[in-house]
Structure 1
Amino acid sequence: MSGVHPYLRMNGNGQEAVKFYEEALNAEVVGVQTFGEMPSNPEFPLPEEAKHRVMHAMLKVGDTVLMLSDTFPGDAYQLGNQVDVALILDEVSQSKAAFEKLQVGGDVLMPLQETPWSPSYGQVKDKFGVTWQISTEVKR
């Protein structure tokens, strides 16, 4: 699945959006994970209103992939900024190189780090205002 994919940001209506795009685009829902399904962290208790919000969803539309997630309660949501670009690479070294180059003149939104879904994931807004979600998908 390596490549560049659209990543939509919803404002609490991610579950509804998944159903809508599944029907409207005749998409196959590959997976939906909510914030409530993440391992708990006592240092950062999860607010009740976040538990059913979509942390990550993936839909297959023909030969392409559409991804989406909800904002976390309290995070800013601005119309016009609902689309990110997800860059998925096969090697951690590729992710690090792309992240370092895209951050020049831009802003790091989330440092590149290991997550439950990727050995190397981060978010950066480049100098043109485009938000990139960079992830490594290790082939098994």
Structure 2
Amino acid sequence: MVKGIIAYIVTDGNGQDAVKFYEDALDAQVLSLQTFGDMPENPEHPTPPEAKDRVLHAHLRVGENELMLSDTFPGSSLKLGDQVGIAVMISTPEKTKDVFGKLSIDGLVTMELQQTFWSPLYGQVQDKFGVTWQVSTLTQDE
């Protein structure tokens, strides 16, 4: 079952400032904020020092709504039009695969579905209309 959709903002290295800005401007409550430096270390792909303070993922509550945000990884470019996408939160891996597959038809998969440290199954796709979707299976405690 699809549990909800959330606007997802992508910033280019100034995510910490953006979180503070939206916290103040929208009276938002910061529910969580992780940086790339908070990720588990992978010796095969070490996190460069310039990435450590960039926002990997921030989750804010704005009234009864939610907003998510992350920075690009150093060296990745942010194309105009890619600053806002949609995160879709799904209750089961089976439904995640179904939704991801349908959104992928005539689209561009930018990250194949895979297990991550924050989700049992997560992937990114730009649909045939150019909309970026972050498809995520909720963990048991969400």
The alignment-based identity, stated in percent, is 56
Q: Which amino acid aligns with 1:103?
A: S
Q: 1:79, CA displacement in angstroms?
A: 2.3
* TM-score w.r.t. length of structure 1: 0.97
**Count of equivalent residues:** 140
Partner of 2:134: 133
The CA deviation at 1:80 is 2.2
Q: Matches of 1:137 and 1:114 in 2, distance apart?
A: 11
* Partner-residue secondary structure (3-state), 1:2: strand
In the alignment, which residue of structure 2 is the partner of 1:122? 123
User: What residue number does 1:84 align with?
Assistant: 85
User: Which residue identity does 1:26 align to in structure 2?
Assistant: D
The residue number in structure 2 matching 1:101 is 102
Q: Structure 2 regions of 5+ residues with no counterpart? A: none
The DSSP-based 3-state class of the residue aligned with 1:97 is helix
Structure 2 counterpart of 1:30? 31
Shift of 1:138: 2.9
Return the alpha-carbon distance in structure 2 between the equivalents of residues 2 and 101 of structure 1. Answer: 17
Q: Unaligned stretches of 5+ in structure 1?
A: none
Measured in 1, the distance between the counterparts of 2:80 and 2:102 equals 27
Please list the CA deviations of residues 48-102 of structure 1 after superposition, one character each: whole Å capped at 9, or x if unmatched.
1000000000000011100000000000112222001100011111111000111
The separation in 1 between residues aligned to 2:18 and 2:95, in whole angstroms, is 32
The equivalent residue for 1:67 is 68
Aligned CA-pair RMSD: 1.1
SS at match of 1:102: helix
Q: In 1, distance between residues paired with 2:128 and 2:79?
A: 19
Give the secondary-structure state (helix, strand or coil) at the position aligned to 2:102.
helix
Are 2:10 and 1:9 aligned?
yes
- Counterpart of 2:6, as a letter, is H
Q: Distance in 2 between matches of 1:37 and 1:75?
A: 19
Distance 1:102 1:77 in 2: 22
Runs in 1 of length 4+ with deviation above 2 angstroms?
none
| TM-superposition CA deviations, 1:107-126 (whole Å, max 9, x none) | 11000010000000000011
